[in-house]
Amino acid sequence: MTAGWPLFGHGDAERRFLDAHARTRLHHAWLIEGPEGIGKYRFALRLAGFLLGARGPADQPLDAGKTDPVWRAIAAGSHPDLRILQRGLNDKGKLVQDISVDQIRALTDFFTMKPALGGWRIGIIDAIDETNRNGANALLKTLEEPPPKCVLFLINHGREPILPTIRSRCRVLRLSALTDEDCRKALDAAGAPPQAARIAKGRPGKGIRLSSAPALAAVEAARALLRSAPTFPDKLAMTALAAAAVDDASMEAFRAELLDWLADRAETQPAAAKVWLKQARLAGDAEQLNMDAAQVATKLVAGLYELAQPV
């Protein structure tokens, strides 16, 4: 049987959850943390499906197949005892900045009702670090006074700090980037193009998302520019800027290459650590200031020039 939500890696975290369930010590809130693109959302879906009755083979109980009725209901978005909160789209088709307080309040109301099918009520917030401050505060009541037979899964990418009062009320499951072998398996299972492996770096979701032709071109342009350090010639910079500004995936791929390059040098070069921090904050600033791709790319490259300047 083929699993409906195949997952590679993260076996230890799954065993910890199953052990808690078997010992009837299931916490009411689970904080699922780790880098983006490693399968945290799919991990949460597998746990939610298990609690709602989806079952795989005896030795792999979370690997429910596509014929499982619970899996089918969740996949169709029609299971009455599951609510998933994610950022929506604005009138221009772009993701809004955060999960709103109204979405959190709707989830709180959902938890006050009895399970429609007599089991659990499950909520998934993808992601808690994309929830605004009012929304995070509204969630605290549910975490402080959890209703019976309710479980909440909070996904945390680590983009922004979350409230200590939220973290302290959750059991943490920390997921890591995949091994090369597991990453290859995940990419193969998803039918990703061969180029995806070049940029995944243990994060198959990232590899799949950034394996379009424009994104791969942005990656190559970024790498060519970085190989020219510390001079960063204008010709290479202009080529990189043009490649990065093609679309959202190109910008993400370009920015990821620069941040990874800076992170590799941050441990031994204080200046690189300073530039990395500035560049890491740029995504949030760009969203708030409504900067276009060309402006963001220019600021990213400007940071490299700053690093190249003698102290």
Q: In whole angstroms, what is the distance from residue 87 CA to residue 284 CA?
A: 15
Note whether 226 and 303 are within 8 A (CB): no
Q: In whole angstroms, what is the distance from residue 175 CA to residue 13 CA?
A: 7
**Is residue 66 pLDDT above 50, yes or no?**
yes
Structure tokens at 202: 């243990």
Q: In whole angstroms, what is the distance from residue 303 CA to residue 26 CA?
A: 47
Q: In whole angstroms, what is the distance from residue 124 CA to residue 149 CA?
A: 15
Per-residue pLDDT reduced to its tens digit, 75-85 = 999 999 999 99
Q: Give the torsion sign (CA, 139, 141, 143, 147).
A: negative
Q: Give the torsion sign (CA, 198, 201, 204, 210).
A: negative
Per-residue pLDDT reduced to its tens digit, 138-153 = 999 899 999 999 999 9
Question: Rounded to a whole number, what is the largest CA-CA distance in the chain?
Answer: 67
Note whether 171 and 34 are within 8 A (CB): no
pLDDT band for position 309 (50/70/90)?
low
pTM to 2 decimal places:
0.83
Note whether 28 and 146 are within 8 A (CB): yes
Q: What is the pLDDT of residue 139?
A: 95
Per-residue pLDDT reduced to its tens digit, 248-269 = 889 989 988 898 888 888 878 8
Per-residue pLDDT reduced to its tens digit, 282-298 = 766 766 666 777 888 88
**Any idea what DSSP says for residue 89?**
B
pLDDT band for position 197 (50/70/90)?
confident
Q: What is the pLDDT of residue 22?
A: 94
